[in-house]
Amino acid sequence: MFSSGVTRELTWVITTLWLLLFFCWLTDWWVESLIAYLVLYIFRQLWSMRKFEKWIEGGTVKAFPPASGFWSQLTYLVSRKQRALEKHADLQLYKSEQFKSASMLIPDAIVSLDQENHIEWFNASSAKILELRRQDVGRKIEGLIRQPEFIHYLKDEQYQDTLTIHSLQGVQRTFSVRVIPYFDSHKLLIVKDITELYNLAQIRRDFIANASHELRTPLTVLKGYLEAMIDTPGEHQKMWAPALQNMQNQSDRMQAIIEDLLTLSKMESETFSSEVEVVDVPAMLTRLRVEVEQLSQGQHQFSFHIDQDLKLKGYAEPLKSVFMNLVSNAVRYTPEQGRIEVRWFSDSDGAHFEVEDNGIGIAKEHIPRLTERFYRVDTARSRATGGTGLGLAIVKHVLERHQATLHVDSLIGRGSIFSCNFPVQRVVHQRSDSAL
């Protein structure tokens, strides 16, 4: 019912009271004895409290202050809690030192910043890559790294993106810069030297672009001879007509692959030749509808819901490639008499282009890999319908250049919804006289 400390205190009080009563019975000094007892008890409590207070404040080196009764139990409980807290603090300090020691060995530069971008601490690699010194702690990072694109990246606070810098602190190398917010408005700046990886990627892009360019000429010659043989009448037509037609179909497919490779290489090299413009998306979709209806040859039901006043800041030709790829994919993978719905609208989150169909659908495990180059859910069907396996890879790169994202919802046998979501800063509302 009572704690051990309270029990001991009650035992002491009851014992001393019995002794007091026995003394009073012997001497008949009832009032004087009771007053003396109360004074002694209060003095004892105040003295124990003072010793406990002095011990708590650290004024004594003893593990436990001399006390009895209730104060003895309280001292024990506080001491046990103190030892537990000291053990926990030692463990946290050990983990903190372990983390700092590990961070010092990481080859990437890691800098901890407060909410105003003052340096709190940094690892050893930061001294080499960013040329930071111990006296730089407390200074603003913008005053030490004066790259315009880096300062703009910090102020823009779009930390979900990664910044690539080709020169840092006078060193002509390629660096990847990432800021990760953590723990109550603090930030972790991570700078990684990716020169070798960037050069390898550039070599791969150059190889693909050069090889694709070199293949265009011999392929054009082959296609020319094939067309001439197909168009030339003669006895050979009965025997070779199917083979020649198949060869022409495969050469057309090869040409489509080369064109897509060149387009993808252009996207990856970050060289859009045109300047950013206000793209008339409704007018573009009007022309696209005519093209996809010709591609469908009357086998599908189309429904277009377009906001005629909604335009977009971006690059016209790449955006046309995105829209055409998504709608033509819907045509390829939707059975005859299937329904394809195209929507172009805006809300508080930005502008959205959606293509919905009731086609064959895509299994959930395939969706994360759809934008990989040459990745096909159904290889045989893709080749039969003329797919190159590069369309969605092109879509991904174009959308990245527009700070947009691709979202896919699909169910096997129920159809798919492909959504391109453009940020608010890309949206332009202008009156348009065109109508679908």
The confidence band for 380, taking pLDDT boundaries of 50, 70 and 90, is very low
Does 434 reside within a domain? Answer: no
Domains of the chain: total: 4
203 shares a domain with 159: no
pLDDT at 361 over 60: yes
315 shares a domain with 201: no
CB 370 within 8 A of CB 389: no
Q: Indicate whether this model's pTM tops 0.85.
A: no
Domain-ending residue, one of 129, 163, 193: 193
236 shares a domain with 110: no
Q: Which residues contact 154 (CB under 8 A, 6 or more apart)?
A: 117, 141, 142, 179
353 shares a domain with 396: yes
Instruction: Return the sign of the alpha-carbon dihedral for residues 24, 25, 27, 30.
Output: positive
For 148-182, what is each residue's pLDDT tens digit? 888 888 888 878 778 888 888 788 899 999 999 98
260 shares a domain with 306: no
Does 301 reside within a domain? Answer: yes
Does 435 reside within a domain? Answer: no
201 shares a domain with 132: no
CATH number at residue 387: 3.30.565.10
Largest pairwise CA distance in the chain: 148
What is the domain range of residue 170? 106-193
Mean of pLDDT over the chain: 82
For 44-92, what is each residue's pLDDT tens digit? 777 777 777 777 776 555 555 555 566 676 777 777 787 888 888 888 8
Q: Residues 2-6: what's their mean pLDDT?
A: 63
415 shares a domain with 296: yes
Q: Residues 350-357: what's their mean pLDDT?
A: 95
289 shares a domain with 416: yes
Residue 317 DSSP class:
H
For 39-50, what is each residue's pLDDT tens digit? 887 887 777 777
CB 307 within 8 A of CB 282: yes
324 shares a domain with 219: no
Residue 250's alpha-carbon distances to 72, 244, 256, 324, 383, in angstroms, are 93, 10, 10, 22, 10
Domain-ending residue, one of 30, 64, 95: 95
Domain-ending residue, one of 268, 293, 317: 268
The whole-angstrom separation of Cα 244 and Cα 223 is 10
Which tokens in the block code for residue 294? 């010709």
283 shares a domain with 264: no
Residue in 427, 430, 411, 408 with CA at minimum distance from that of residue 419 = 408
Residue 221's alpha-carbon distances to 213, 224, 240, 377, 388, in angstroms, are 14, 5, 19, 33, 21
Which tokens in the block code for residue 179? 């800021």
Beta strand 300-306 with 338-347 is: parallel
Residues facing residue 418 across a β-bridge: 355, 408
291 shares a domain with 262: no
Instruction: Return the sign of the alpha-carbon dihedral for residues 70, 74, 77, 80.
Output: negative
Q: Residues 224-248: what's their mean pLDDT?
A: 79
398 shares a domain with 299: yes
Which tokens in the block code for residue 343? 């929507």
Residue 184 DSSP class:
T
